[in-house]
Chain A
């Protein structure tokens, strides 16, 4: 767009911009070096995708780039240090390692060690994956007719709101007879679904979603079923005002922002749901995607791999009803392993959790209740995702 195409008002706004005058940067050298380090700089295939054609990444760099190698390399150095810290953590546990080792297993292609369960903690972010044991809440007394009606209306509202959303969008809604006094609130999410791995990867790149690639090893018979990218569920009122919470008490500001959001929402025209129930809703600002999932199937059996950004302080996983929980160490990476009893109501047979500090992601791998996969096979799949399968 040329300057003459701007309105007078836009021209004035442009005059306030000082970013246009900032000093230029030159990142060619560090980026091309990172590519060369990662994919090889010489006559071998330099890309993750070029099929090993003879290329050279560094060849055309002519300009003086002496100033170009800066913090980024040290940032990546930090990532390497994070990985080293994880390794050190595992090694430092070595003293107690053999005390807790139950057995050393070796299947056809994977060697791992078993130890007693303990939480996993990311040494850089202190993100923790922890097992807790919580009994299911006993069934409540029979619901009143009014409560049943309200639940029915909330479900009706959810369906309606979801229909209004585009893939990747999130909305918040209130349902009730009188919206100003104790309405039911809920969030509706529309994930992005993919029928092919290629389209999943393409969108993952475009949206800078959490990194998740298919495992290097999959048991025979398993084929891609679906991919999914899930939007981040922000707290209503928080994301809409990114800069108004710098001063003053942050706690009060968050509550104020939420209250303001609810007041604005209630003042919007309501949708009639029948039986005097009303619905008001609002899309929440996009705050990116915070988790991704891939699923594979073999007949009735399924495998689900999920990746979550380390954007919270930790995650608690309920181990209630499990037959076995332990930690597994495979090629220097520690995982939590959970096994369901032969008879039970859990939705998996085996489940594994592990952290990747450098990708700032944690992963979950689970199979279906009807799965015939062994623990070794599950570990092998997980190891192949770490690039450590042999």
Chain B
């Protein structure tokens, strides 16, 4: 079977129609990745289309030194980063004009559907970069080598950072479980008293 890299070479040589196959292979992987970062199905689907168009326009700059998949994830991450930054600015502008955004609450609902509790709350404690590393490793099945390629960082540094993030996540999840346990205990006590 023809490798992706060979297919890319053919596209770079002018067999543009083959790009439909590239979309076919990667669209749902990238969609789920965007969904995990953006927490909105509509935005994720639009993002995939923008990313694919961008990839097509820039495919001549892809070099085989990096795997195509890593290159694609890199473009996708940076695209989502831009979207999140714009979203944050829009929210700030809305707040500035005293218009409360309903986007946040909608996102939180979707987020809870993407990641169930207690992970959803624990993820909120992480920065976007940290979330991205965790998502790539645990949910996108990426090796540390691939993550290092995507993030353009040293593999050992990625491993260390991942260890710290997992520790942070574990602590956050445990503390939440403890809080919930205490709440449940208090609620039982109150019920018994009445």
Contact = CB atoms under 8 A, between A and B. Distances in A.
A28 B48 CA distance: 10
B58 A205 contact: yes
A25 B56 contact: no
A286 B129 contact: yes
Contacts of B61: 198, 201-202, 205-206
B158 interface: no
B45 A58 contact: no
Given A58-B17, A286-B81, A27 B114 contact: no
Contacts of B23: 27-28, 31-32
A55 B17 contact: yes
B84 A208 contact: no
B32 interface: yes
A50 interface: yes
A27 B52 contact: yes
Interface residues of A, number: 70
Interface stretch (A235-243, A338-346, A368-376): A235-243
B95 A250 contact: yes
B82 to A, nearest CB: 5
Q: On chain B, which size bracket covers the interface?
A: 35 or more
Nearest to A312: B89
A198 B61 CA distance: 8
Interface in A14-58: 14, 16-20, 22, 24-28, 30-32, 34-35, 45-51, 53, 55-58
A260 B138 CA distance: 30
B45 A25 contact: yes
A32 B52 CA distance: 9
Most A Cβ at <10 Å: residue of B18, B78, B108: B78
A232 B115 CA distance: 29
Mostly, the A contact residues are: loop
A206 B74 contact: yes
Contact of B49 (A6, A34, A61): A34
Contact of A19 (B35, B60, B63, B84): B35
A298 interface: no
A244 B117 CA distance: 16
Contact of A288 (B21, B85, B95, B120): B85
B124 A206 contact: no
Interface in A121-167: none
A372 B22 CA distance: 49
A287 to B, nearest CB: 6
A205 B14 CA distance: 19
A242 B128 contact: yes
B14 A208 contact: no
B172 to A, nearest CB: 12
Contact of A24 (B28, B93, B104, B123): B28
B155 interface: no
Interface of A: 1, 6, 9-10, 13-14, 16-20, 22, 24-28, 30-32, 34-35, 45-51, 53, 55-61, 70-72, 75, 198, 201-202, 204-209, 232, 239-244, 246, 250-251, 285-289, 309, 311-313, 360
Q: What are the nearest 6 A-B pairs in CB distance?
A: A205-B58, A208-B78, A243-B124, A202-B61, A53-B14, A16-B119
Given A45-B14, A285-B127, 19 more contacts: A1-B142, A1-B143, A10-B138, A16-B115, A17-B115, A24-B28, A24-B31, A25-B45, A27-B27, A27-B49, A47-B16, A56-B17, A57-B17, A205-B54, A206-B61, A209-B78, A242-B124, A243-B123, A311-B85
